[in-house]
Homo-oligomer: A and B are copies of this chain.
Amino acid sequence: MTFTDQAQAARSASRTLATARRSLKDAALQSMADALGAAEASVLEANAADLAAARASGTPGALLDRLALTPARIAGMVGGLRDLAALPDPVGDVVRGWTNPNGVQVRQVRVPFGVVGIIYEARPNVTADAAGICVKSGNAALLRGSSSALRSNRAVVAALQDGLAAAGLPRASVQLVEGDREVTGELMAARGLVDVLIPRGGAGLIKAVVEGARVPVIETGTGNCHLYVDATADEEMALAILLNAKVQRPSVCNACETLLVHAAIADSFLPRALAALAAAGVTVHGTPEVCAVSDAVVPAGPDEFDGEYLSLDLACRVVDSLEEAIEHIRAHTTGHSETIVTTSLAAADRFVAEVDAAAVLVNASSRFVDGGEFGFGAEIGISTQKLHARGPMALPEMTSTKYVVTGSGQVRG
């Protein structure tokens, strides 16, 4: 089957999904969960083959860990599908509505996008998560996974399609896009066949899709998240938030990557912070005035403040003012989540107003910027772009809207 054949099958399936009632979609999600659970042995067998091939080609351990499926991870995928069945259906929500003076009624109603393309890396659990979110939101999914996870993804998708068919929805609602790199190019160029592309993975993957696609893209996020400790900060609170944001799960996009400390509090706060970070296993990469505080601090390189570590590393500098902190963040932000710790209402208000990011936090850990923590129940990613959706993206963000205009023969005067 060519890519165009697949995309046309997806379009056809999307029409069925778009008008499917919630009860049918939820039954399909349960049936997909049942089928995936029943296919555990074949999925694990396929995954073992992927892992063996990856090991043989010298894949690093961290990537092997992402690629690996276990009974527990499969149970997580199954549970994720069942959780989706319990969430409200965004499709059909009336966003707003009114009656014009001439009696014409207007409603803005949520509708699915149609066909959603997901381009992702070697984590086979994304296959089930993304497929489930698409089905729940009434979208057909074209899943372009990594070649290193091909056997695993095939096994997962086969099970999901069995579940869809058992519930009476088209198998083509969820398809794996196979083939060489040219197929990725076809997917990215498929205006009219694919409505939205969502890349999920590292900064390189996201950049390649954003720059290469002709289909509209929702950019999900790299997070060079800053924590600014203001002159007036409660030091205990700042320490607790810093450690949580840096250490609790350093590999994720809402973890803290840069610490900015106001000069007026640095003499008191910085030694305590550096000691606590060292005790937690964090390597601090500091500017000279930070290095002067502790021998454990590594001198920061020239690009130290620009990237994501995604590890137990932290960049650190002292700033002379709130303005300087805001200027530093402007120059280096990826627009994800930026935090101030302060007791000053004026400083909090100014930081919130002037820092341009998907989320701006006052006296709370950036780890809260997450669909689950926001109570959304499901998350397809965290958007760092300004169009359509910004911040954690859940089911409503997987929809467009349609104006339904009803009258009794009115014409325009």
* Chain B residues within 8 Å of A236, by CB: 409
* Chain B residues within 8 Å of A295, by CB: none
Q: What CA separation (Å) do A117 and B195 show in the bound complex?
A: 23
Task: For chain A, residues 215 to 254, give those with C-beta under 8 angstroms from any C-beta of chain B.
Answer: 216, 218, 234, 236-237, 240-241, 243-245, 248
Q: Given A195-B386, A385-B216, A409-B364, are A369 and B241 neighbors across the interface (CB < 8 Å)?
A: no
A3 beta carbon closer than 8 Å to chain B: no
Interface string of A358-379 (1 = CB under 8 A from B): 1111111101110001110000
A352 beta carbon closer than 8 Å to chain B: yes
Q: Is the interface of A mostly helix, strand, loop or mixed?
A: mixed
Q: Is the CB of A412 within 8 A of B363?
A: no
Q: Is the CB of B211 within 8 A of A214?
A: yes
Q: Given A111-B356, A216-B385, A359-B403, are A234 and B409 neighbors across the interface (CB < 8 Å)?
A: yes
* Chain B residues within 8 Å of A1, by CB: none
A56 beta carbon closer than 8 Å to chain B: no
* Chain B residues within 8 Å of A373, by CB: 100, 412
| CB closest chain-B residue, reference A391 | B403
A400 beta carbon closer than 8 Å to chain B: yes
* Chain B residues within 8 Å of A406, by CB: 348, 361-364
A402 beta carbon closer than 8 Å to chain B: yes
A325 beta carbon closer than 8 Å to chain B: no
State how many copies of this chain the complex holds. 2
Q: Is the CB of B411 within 8 A of A360?
A: no
Task: For chain A, residues 95 to 114, give those with C-beta under 8 angstroms from any C-beta of chain B.
Answer: 98, 100, 104, 106, 108, 111, 113-114
Q: What CA separation (Å) do A32 and B34 show in the bound complex?
A: 64
Q: Is the CB of A387 within 8 A of B218?
A: yes
A359 to B: closest C-beta gap in Å: 4
* Chain B residues within 8 Å of A15, by CB: 354
Q: What CA separation (Å) do A367 and B104 show in the bound complex?
A: 12
A57 beta carbon closer than 8 Å to chain B: no
Contacting residue for A360 out of B195, B240, B364, B405, CB 8 A:
B405
Contacting residue for A387 out of B356, B367, B387, CB 8 A:
B387
Q: What CA separation (Å) do A199 and B373 show in the bound complex?
A: 38
A268 beta carbon closer than 8 Å to chain B: no
A2 beta carbon closer than 8 Å to chain B: no
Interface string of A38-54 (1 = CB under 8 A from B): 00000000000000000
Q: What CA separation (Å) do A360 and B385 show in the bound complex?
A: 29
Q: Is the CB of B407 within 8 A of A196?
A: no
Given contacts A191-B211, A363-B410, A392-B403, 15 further A-B contacts (CB under 8 A): A18-B356, A111-B356, A211-B214, A234-B409, A241-B409, A243-B411, A244-B411, A244-B412, A352-B404, A360-B403, A361-B406, A365-B410, A367-B411, A367-B412, A387-B388
Q: 3 shortest A-B CB distances, which residue pairs?
A: A364-B407, A244-B411, A386-B400
Could you name 14 residue pairs across A and B whose Cβ atoms are closer than 8 Å?
A18-B353, A19-B353, A19-B354, A100-B374, A106-B374, A216-B216, A234-B409, A237-B409, A241-B409, A360-B403, A365-B407, A368-B405, A373-B412, A387-B387
